[in-house]
Amino acid sequence: MKVKKTYRLDENTLSELDELATSQGVAATVALERAIHAAAEASGKAKREPDERRQARAELSALTRQLDAKDKQIAALLDQLAAAQEVSAAVAETAKAAQALHAATVGELAPTGEKGGRWARLKAAWKG
């Protein structure tokens, strides 16, 4: 619905409006409506941009905090992994030492052909 309204324009503005209407091939009223809509849209975008930037900064800040938390978690996991590897190396050394001790013990208990060897004494002790 169109509404009739009267505005007073200076001569320069009126001539610019006429030139704009002529260049677009429309009536002065349509050219004025288009100019007003374009100005309103540009103003709305200008208002939205700071909000969008503020929101983008807030999202970036949240992501940065999350990344810092993940970095701390990774560092803690790396420390735990290093400790576990140290324990694993110590266990491997202990197992090697136990195997060597076992081999030496078995070697001492092996029959030597003597009747009074350690192996013979153990067998005799078990038989009772």
User: Hey, where are the domains in the chain?
Assistant: 11-127
The overall average pLDDT reported for the chain is 85
What is the average pLDDT across 92-114?
77
Q: Which residue has the higher pLDDT, 66 or 124?
A: 66
What is the average pLDDT across 60-77?
95
Tokens of 124: 């005799």
pTM above 0.85, yes or no: no
Q: What is the pLDDT of residue 95?
A: 93
| DSSP secondary structure letter of residue 1 | -
User: SS3 helix, strand, coil % of the chain, rounded to 5?
Assistant: 85, 0, 15
